[in-house]
A and B are shown apart, each in its own frame.
Chain A
Amino acid sequence: GENVEQHPSTLSVQEGDSAVIKCTYSDSASNYFPWYKQELGKRPQLIIDIRSNVGEKKDQRIAVTLNKTAKHFSLHITETQPEDSAVYFCAASKGGGGSNYKLTFGKGTLLTVNP
Chain B
Amino acid sequence: DGGITQSPKYLFRKEGQNVTLSCEQNLNHDAMYWYRQDPGQGLRLIYYSQIVNDFQKGDIAEGYSVSREKKESFPLTVTSAQKNPTAFYLCASSIAGEQFFGPGTRLTVL
B-binding residues in A (CB < 8 A)? 1, 6, 9, 32, 34, 42-46, 49, 89, 93, 95-96, 98-99, 101-108
13 other contacts beyond A34-B98, A46-B99, A105-B43, with CB at 8 A cut-off?
A: A9-B40, A43-B90, A49-B98, A95-B96, A96-B97, A98-B50, A101-B50, A101-B94, A102-B45, A103-B33, A103-B99, A105-B42, A106-B42
Q: Which residues of A contact B94 (CB under 8 A)?
A: 101
CA distance A51 to B41 in the complex (A): 25
Asked, given contacts A32-B97, A95-B97, A107-B41, whether A43 binds B50 with beta carbons under 8 Å apart, the answer is no
Instruction: Kindly provide the distance from the CB of B57 to the nearest chain A CB, expressed in whole angstroms.
Output: 11
Chain B interface extent, by class? 20 to 34
Q: Which residues of A contact B90 (CB under 8 A)?
A: 43-44
In the complex, the answer to whether A44 meets B43 with C-beta atoms within 8 Å is: yes
